[in-house]
Amino acid sequence: MKTIKNYLYLLLAGTFVLFSACEETGETVAPADLNAISTYSPTIEGDNVTFNGNLKNANSTIEYGFMWYVQPSGQEEAVVHRLVVGNGDINGDFTKVVANLPKGVSLVVCAFVDYKDATQQVINAIGEEIDFTYD
């Protein structure tokens, strides 16, 4: 009888451990890896700046492109400019040539991608923020 009781305790403990380990599996999974978006250093050529990025495994991309802003010097909030490069699926590099950026100030650029999940809700992801100065 004691062996059966010990067996039931082990079975109960094993079941508890199994369900505890599976407790976190209810999270929503994005349709693509949200870390698949990358920002590269911009290329500065004369009056133009070329923003450079890369996106991998974006099977359900809505839009992708770049966001840039002037880095605030004080407590003011940055005004973010969103530049859409394209929409739909993409797997690779993308660029955007931008003219008339403010000169002589610290600028920040990052690539972005918007996905739709299975419920048609938009999920936003951004790449690394790159600081640069355009003189």
List pLDDT tens digits, range 96-135.
Answer: 999 989 999 999 999 999 887 667 777 888 999 999 998 8
Tell me what pLDDT residue 6 has.
47
- Alpha carbons 29 and 52: distance in angstroms, whole number: 27
Give the sign of the dihedral formed by CA 27, CA 31, CA 35, CA 41.
negative
Count, in order, helices (H) and strands (E) of the chain: 1, 8
- Alpha carbons 53 and 74: distance in angstroms, whole number: 29
List pLDDT tens digits, range 57-107.
Answer: 666 678 899 999 999 988 889 999 999 999 887 889 999 999 989 999 999
Query: Given a cut of 60, is residue 27 above it in pLDDT?
Result: no
